[in-house]
Protein backbone atom coordinates (compact mmCIF):
# COMPACT_ATOMS: atom_id res chain seq x y z
CA UNK A 1 0.00 0.00 0.00
CA UNK A 2 1.35 3.42 -0.96
CA UNK A 3 2.10 5.87 1.85
CA UNK A 4 1.66 9.64 1.90
CA UNK A 5 5.46 10.04 1.94
CA UNK A 6 5.81 7.89 -1.17
CA UNK A 7 3.05 9.79 -2.97
CA UNK A 8 4.60 13.15 -2.10
CA UNK A 9 8.06 12.04 -3.20
CA UNK A 10 6.73 10.58 -6.46
CA UNK A 11 4.89 13.84 -7.16
CA UNK A 12 8.11 15.81 -6.51
CA UNK A 13 6.21 18.02 -4.09
CA UNK A 14 8.51 20.88 -2.98
CA UNK A 15 9.36 21.07 0.72
CA UNK A 16 10.28 24.78 0.95
CA UNK A 17 7.89 26.82 3.09
CA UNK A 18 6.36 23.86 4.95
CA UNK A 19 7.94 24.04 8.41
CA UNK A 20 5.84 24.11 11.56
CA UNK A 21 5.58 27.67 12.90
CA UNK A 22 7.00 28.42 16.34
CA UNK A 23 9.02 31.40 17.48
CA UNK A 24 9.74 29.52 20.70
CA UNK A 25 9.71 25.78 21.38
CA UNK A 26 8.97 24.21 24.78
CA UNK A 27 10.07 20.58 24.59
CA UNK A 28 9.21 18.27 27.46
CA UNK A 29 10.65 14.79 27.89
CA UNK A 30 7.94 12.15 28.26
CA UNK A 31 8.76 8.46 28.04
CA UNK A 32 6.28 5.76 27.13
CA UNK A 33 3.71 5.69 24.31
CA UNK A 34 2.21 8.75 22.63
CA UNK A 35 -1.29 9.03 21.19
CA UNK A 36 -2.48 11.11 18.27
CA UNK A 37 -2.86 14.17 20.53
CA UNK A 38 0.26 13.45 22.56
CA UNK A 39 -0.09 16.20 25.16
CA UNK A 40 -3.30 14.61 26.39
CA UNK A 41 -2.69 11.04 25.22
CA UNK A 42 0.52 9.96 26.91
CA UNK A 43 1.71 9.32 30.43
CA UNK A 44 1.83 13.06 30.97
CA UNK A 45 -1.14 14.03 33.14
CA UNK A 46 -3.74 15.08 30.53
CA UNK A 47 -4.85 17.96 32.76
CA UNK A 48 -1.33 19.36 32.59
CA UNK A 49 -1.20 18.72 28.84
CA UNK A 50 -4.43 20.64 28.24
CA UNK A 51 -3.29 23.47 30.49
CA UNK A 52 0.04 23.75 28.64
CA UNK A 53 -1.77 23.93 25.30
CA UNK A 54 -4.07 26.65 26.64
CA UNK A 55 -1.21 28.64 28.18
CA UNK A 56 0.79 28.57 24.94
CA UNK A 57 -2.12 29.43 22.64
CA UNK A 58 -1.50 32.66 20.75
CA UNK A 59 1.89 33.34 22.37
CA UNK A 60 4.22 32.04 19.66
CA UNK A 61 5.26 29.12 21.88
CA UNK A 62 4.77 25.58 20.59
CA UNK A 63 4.75 22.74 23.15
CA UNK A 64 5.80 19.22 22.17
CA UNK A 65 6.83 16.02 23.90
CA UNK A 66 10.22 14.44 23.27
CA UNK A 67 11.96 11.20 24.21
CA UNK A 68 15.24 9.48 23.51
CA UNK A 69 15.24 7.08 20.53
CA UNK A 70 14.83 3.39 21.28
CA UNK A 71 12.31 1.17 23.01
CA UNK A 72 9.76 3.10 25.06
CA UNK A 73 8.78 1.29 28.22
CA UNK A 74 5.13 1.51 29.24
CA UNK A 75 5.81 2.76 32.75
CA UNK A 76 3.96 5.40 34.76
CA UNK A 77 6.58 6.24 37.35
CA UNK A 78 7.32 9.87 38.12
CA UNK A 79 10.93 10.42 37.08
CA UNK A 80 13.23 13.29 36.29
CA UNK A 81 12.74 14.62 32.80
CA UNK A 82 14.70 16.97 30.55
CA UNK A 83 13.08 20.13 29.26
CA UNK A 84 14.30 22.58 26.63
CA UNK A 85 13.27 26.10 25.70
CA UNK A 86 14.46 27.50 22.39
CA UNK A 87 13.79 30.83 20.70
CA UNK A 88 14.43 30.78 16.95
CA UNK A 89 14.27 34.42 15.77
CA UNK A 90 17.29 35.46 13.65
CA UNK A 91 19.98 37.20 15.69
CA UNK A 92 18.10 36.47 18.92
CA UNK A 93 18.09 32.69 19.07
CA UNK A 94 18.84 31.03 22.41
CA UNK A 95 18.39 27.73 24.19
CA UNK A 96 17.79 27.02 27.88
CA UNK A 97 17.48 23.66 29.61
CA UNK A 98 16.68 22.07 32.96
CA UNK A 99 15.81 18.76 34.57
CA UNK A 100 12.47 18.72 36.39
CA UNK A 101 10.38 16.17 38.26
CA UNK A 102 7.05 18.01 38.28
CA UNK A 103 5.82 18.98 34.78
CA UNK A 104 3.04 20.97 36.45
CA UNK A 105 5.70 23.55 37.35
CA UNK A 106 5.85 24.49 33.66
CA UNK A 107 2.44 26.12 33.99
CA UNK A 108 4.04 28.96 35.93
CA UNK A 109 6.13 30.01 32.91
CA UNK A 110 5.40 33.38 31.33
CA UNK A 111 4.48 32.11 27.87
CA UNK A 112 3.92 35.57 26.40
CA UNK A 113 7.45 36.69 27.28
CA UNK A 114 8.95 33.41 26.10
CA UNK A 115 7.17 33.78 22.78
CA UNK A 116 8.57 37.30 22.50
CA UNK A 117 12.09 35.96 22.99
CA UNK A 118 12.63 36.86 26.66
CA UNK A 119 13.83 34.04 28.91
CA UNK A 120 14.58 36.29 31.92
CA UNK A 121 17.43 34.04 33.04
CA UNK A 122 15.21 30.97 33.34
CA UNK A 123 17.07 27.66 33.72
CA UNK A 124 20.62 27.18 32.43
CA UNK A 125 21.94 28.04 28.96
CA UNK A 126 22.26 25.07 26.67
CA UNK A 127 25.83 25.02 25.37
CA UNK A 128 26.11 21.57 23.79
CA UNK A 129 26.02 20.44 20.18
CA UNK A 130 23.04 21.32 17.98
CA UNK A 131 19.99 19.20 18.78
CA UNK A 132 17.99 17.19 16.25
CA UNK A 133 14.30 16.42 16.79
CA UNK A 134 12.87 13.72 14.50
CA UNK A 135 9.09 13.32 14.19
CA UNK A 136 8.28 9.68 15.06
CA UNK A 137 4.66 9.69 16.26
CA UNK A 138 3.12 6.80 14.34
CA UNK A 139 -0.26 7.45 15.94
CA UNK A 140 -0.51 10.65 13.89
CA UNK A 141 0.89 9.12 10.72
CA UNK A 142 2.53 5.78 10.11
CA UNK A 143 5.20 7.37 7.89
CA UNK A 144 6.61 9.13 10.95
CA UNK A 145 7.10 5.77 12.66
CA UNK A 146 8.23 3.77 9.63
CA UNK A 147 10.71 6.37 8.43
CA UNK A 148 11.37 8.61 11.43
CA UNK A 149 12.22 6.05 14.10
CA UNK A 150 14.95 4.26 12.14
CA UNK A 151 16.52 7.61 11.29
CA UNK A 152 16.45 8.76 14.93
CA UNK A 153 18.04 5.48 16.01
CA UNK A 154 20.74 5.70 13.33
CA UNK A 155 21.58 9.27 14.33
CA UNK A 156 21.92 8.27 17.98
CA UNK A 157 24.25 5.38 17.17
CA UNK A 158 26.43 7.78 15.16
CA UNK A 159 26.72 10.18 18.11
CA UNK A 160 24.28 12.90 17.00
CA UNK A 161 22.26 14.56 19.78
CA UNK A 162 18.92 13.28 18.54
CA UNK A 163 15.48 13.10 20.14
CA UNK A 164 12.13 11.81 18.97
CA UNK A 165 9.33 14.40 18.94
CA UNK A 166 5.57 14.10 18.85
CA UNK A 167 4.48 16.32 15.95
CA UNK A 168 6.00 18.98 13.72
CA UNK A 169 3.63 18.72 10.74
CA UNK A 170 4.26 17.57 7.20
CA UNK A 171 3.93 13.78 7.63
CA UNK A 172 4.19 13.36 3.87
CA UNK A 173 7.75 14.71 3.98
CA UNK A 174 8.89 11.98 6.38
CA UNK A 175 11.41 11.54 7.74
CA UNK A 176 11.05 15.12 8.91
CA UNK A 177 12.95 16.94 11.65
CA UNK A 178 14.24 20.28 12.84
CA UNK A 179 17.57 21.39 14.24
CA UNK A 180 18.09 23.75 17.15
CA UNK A 181 19.23 26.42 17.96
CA UNK A 182 18.18 28.02 14.66
CA UNK A 183 14.95 26.09 14.09
CA UNK A 184 15.42 25.12 10.44
CA UNK A 185 13.37 22.04 9.48
CA UNK A 186 14.15 19.36 6.91
CA UNK A 187 12.10 16.84 4.96
CA UNK A 188 12.87 13.51 3.29
CA UNK A 189 15.98 13.46 5.42
CA UNK A 190 18.76 10.89 5.53
CA UNK A 191 21.43 10.38 8.17
CA UNK A 192 24.21 11.92 6.01
CA UNK A 193 22.03 14.97 5.30
CA UNK A 194 21.25 15.42 9.01
CA UNK A 195 24.93 15.18 9.90
CA UNK A 196 25.65 17.93 7.36
CA UNK A 197 22.81 20.03 8.80
CA UNK A 198 24.22 19.60 12.32
CA UNK A 199 27.73 20.49 11.18
CA UNK A 200 26.34 23.59 9.47
CA UNK A 201 24.43 24.62 12.60
CA UNK A 202 27.54 24.08 14.70
CA UNK A 203 29.29 26.74 12.61
CA UNK A 204 26.30 29.11 12.56
CA UNK A 205 25.14 28.12 9.10
CA UNK A 206 22.12 26.49 7.51
CA UNK A 207 22.08 23.59 5.07
CA UNK A 208 19.71 24.42 2.21
CA UNK A 209 19.35 20.90 0.79
CA UNK A 210 15.89 19.48 1.66
CA UNK A 211 15.24 22.52 3.89
CA UNK A 212 11.59 23.21 4.76
CA UNK A 213 12.17 26.61 6.39
CA UNK A 214 12.83 28.36 9.68
CA UNK A 215 10.11 27.90 12.28
CA UNK A 216 10.30 31.51 13.48
CA UNK A 217 8.22 32.62 10.48
CA UNK A 218 4.94 31.80 8.83
CA UNK A 219 5.20 29.74 5.66
CA UNK A 220 5.34 32.56 3.06
CA UNK A 221 8.33 34.06 4.87
CA UNK A 222 9.97 30.65 5.16
CA UNK A 223 9.80 30.24 1.39
CA UNK A 224 11.03 33.80 0.80
CA UNK A 225 14.05 33.34 3.07
CA UNK A 226 15.08 30.16 1.26
CA UNK A 227 14.61 31.78 -2.16
CA UNK A 228 16.89 34.68 -1.30
CA UNK A 229 19.46 32.31 0.18
CA UNK A 230 19.51 30.30 -3.04
CA UNK A 231 19.79 33.47 -5.12
CA UNK A 232 22.75 35.02 -3.29
CA UNK A 233 24.30 31.77 -2.00
CA UNK A 234 23.97 32.82 1.63
CA UNK A 235 24.17 30.08 4.26
CA UNK A 236 24.90 32.04 7.44
CA UNK A 237 21.88 31.28 9.63
CA UNK A 238 21.38 34.76 11.06
CA UNK A 239 22.37 36.76 7.99
CA UNK A 240 18.76 37.10 6.77
CA UNK A 241 15.53 38.14 8.44
CA UNK A 242 11.99 38.25 7.08
CA UNK A 243 11.10 41.67 8.42
CA UNK A 244 7.69 42.19 6.84
CA UNK A 245 4.95 40.06 5.29
CA UNK A 246 1.88 41.62 3.70
CA UNK A 247 -1.00 40.12 1.74
CA UNK A 248 -1.16 41.18 -1.92
CA UNK A 249 -3.15 40.32 -5.04
CA UNK A 250 -1.27 37.88 -7.27
CA UNK A 251 -0.49 38.98 -10.84
CA UNK A 252 -3.56 38.80 -13.09
CA UNK A 253 -5.96 38.23 -10.21
CA UNK A 254 -7.90 41.48 -10.67
CA UNK A 255 -9.91 42.80 -7.77
CA UNK A 256 -10.82 39.36 -6.40
CA UNK A 257 -7.68 37.26 -5.77
CA UNK A 258 -8.26 33.60 -6.52
CA UNK A 259 -5.28 32.42 -4.48
CA UNK A 260 -3.55 33.89 -1.42
CA UNK A 261 -0.34 35.80 -2.15
CA UNK A 262 2.13 37.79 -0.08
CA UNK A 263 4.98 40.25 -0.48
CA UNK A 264 7.77 39.40 1.94
CA UNK A 265 10.62 41.79 2.67
CA UNK A 266 13.82 39.89 3.42
CA UNK A 267 16.65 41.93 4.90
CA UNK A 268 20.35 41.07 5.01
CA UNK A 269 22.37 42.22 7.97
CA UNK A 270 24.71 44.03 5.54
CA UNK A 271 21.87 46.40 4.58
CA UNK A 272 20.62 44.77 1.39
CA UNK A 273 16.97 43.73 1.09
CA UNK A 274 14.62 42.02 -1.33
CA UNK A 275 10.89 41.97 -2.02
CA UNK A 276 9.79 38.40 -2.56
CA UNK A 277 6.36 37.63 -4.00
CA UNK A 278 4.98 34.31 -2.79
CA UNK A 279 1.76 32.65 -3.88
CA UNK A 280 -0.08 29.70 -2.36
CA UNK A 281 -0.81 27.17 -5.07
CA UNK A 282 -2.60 23.83 -5.26
CA UNK A 283 -1.58 22.90 -8.81
CA UNK A 284 0.60 19.90 -8.00
CA UNK A 285 -0.14 16.24 -8.57
CA UNK A 286 -2.88 14.79 -6.35
CA UNK A 287 -1.57 13.25 -3.13
CA UNK A 288 -2.88 12.55 0.37
CA UNK A 289 -1.91 15.07 3.05
CA UNK A 290 -1.52 12.15 5.44
CA UNK A 291 -1.82 8.38 5.30
CA UNK A 292 -5.45 7.28 5.14
CA UNK A 293 -6.76 10.60 3.82
CA UNK A 294 -8.23 10.94 0.33
CA UNK A 295 -6.24 12.33 -2.56
CA UNK A 296 -6.06 16.11 -2.66
CA UNK A 297 -3.84 18.87 -3.94
CA UNK A 298 -1.70 20.00 -0.99
CA UNK A 299 -1.05 23.73 -0.77
CA UNK A 300 2.49 24.83 -1.56
CA UNK A 301 4.37 28.11 -1.40
CA UNK A 302 5.43 29.20 -4.91
CA UNK A 303 7.98 32.02 -5.17
CA UNK A 304 6.95 34.16 -8.15
CA UNK A 305 9.68 36.80 -8.03
CA UNK A 306 12.63 38.08 -6.02
CA UNK A 307 13.40 41.77 -6.54
CA UNK A 308 16.30 43.63 -4.97
CA UNK A 309 15.25 46.81 -3.18
CA UNK A 310 17.29 50.04 -3.25
CA UNK A 311 20.23 49.85 -0.89
CA UNK A 312 23.96 49.09 -0.84
CA UNK A 313 25.21 48.42 -4.35
CA UNK A 314 27.47 45.59 -3.32
CA UNK A 315 28.82 43.72 -0.37
CA UNK A 316 31.42 41.06 0.33
CA UNK A 317 30.58 37.52 -0.74
CA UNK A 318 29.60 35.08 2.04
CA UNK A 319 32.59 33.66 3.84
- 232-291 per-position pLDDT tens digit: 999 999 999 999 999 997 666 555 556 899 999 999 999 999 999 999 998 877 777 788
Cα separation, 206 vs 222, whole angstroms = 13
Q: Which of 70-84, 204-218, 223-237 has the lowest mean pLDDT?
A: 70-84
Q: Is the pLDDT of residue 71 over 80?
A: no
Cα separation, 119 vs 24, whole angstroms = 10
Confidence of residue 4 (pLDDT cuts 50, 70, 90): confident
Nearest by Cα to 82 from 165, 186, 152, 182: 165
Q: Let me know: does 59 contact 111? Beta carbons within 8 Å.
A: yes
Cα separation, 310 vs 305, whole angstroms = 16
What are the pLDDT digits (tens) for 138-150?
887 888 888 989 9
pLDDT score at 298? 83
The structural domains of the chain, with segments of one domain joined by +, span 12-203, 218-309
What are the pLDDT digits (tens) for 81-107?
999 999 999 999 999 999 999 999 999
What are the pLDDT digits (tens) for 25-68?
999 999 999 998 999 999 999 999 999 999 999 999 999 999 99
Neighbours of 109 (CB within 10 A): 19
Q: Which residues contact 98 (CB under 8 A, 6 or more apart)?
A: 82, 83, 123, 124
Dump the DSSP string for 6-75.
HHHHHTT---TT-PPP-SEEEEEE--S---SSTTTSSSS-HHHHHHHHHHHTTTTEEEEEEE-SS-----
Nearest by Cα to 270 from 312, 234, 228, 232: 312
Q: Is the pLDDT of residue 6 over 90?
A: no
Q: Let me know: does 150 contact 168? Beta carbons within 8 Å.
A: no
Buried b (16+ CB within 10 A) or exposed e, 77-94: eeeebebbbbbbbbeebb
**pTM of this prediction?**
0.91
Mean of per-residue pLDDT scores for the chain: 91
Amino acid sequence: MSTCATASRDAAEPVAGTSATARTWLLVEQTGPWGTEALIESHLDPRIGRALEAAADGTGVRVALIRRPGRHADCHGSTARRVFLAHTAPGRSWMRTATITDPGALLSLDFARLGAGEHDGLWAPYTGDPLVFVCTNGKRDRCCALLGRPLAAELTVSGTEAWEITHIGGHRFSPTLFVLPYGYAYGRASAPLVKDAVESARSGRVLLDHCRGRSAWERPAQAADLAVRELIREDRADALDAVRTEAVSPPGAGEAPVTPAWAVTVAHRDGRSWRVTVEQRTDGAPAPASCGLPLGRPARMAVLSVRALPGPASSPAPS
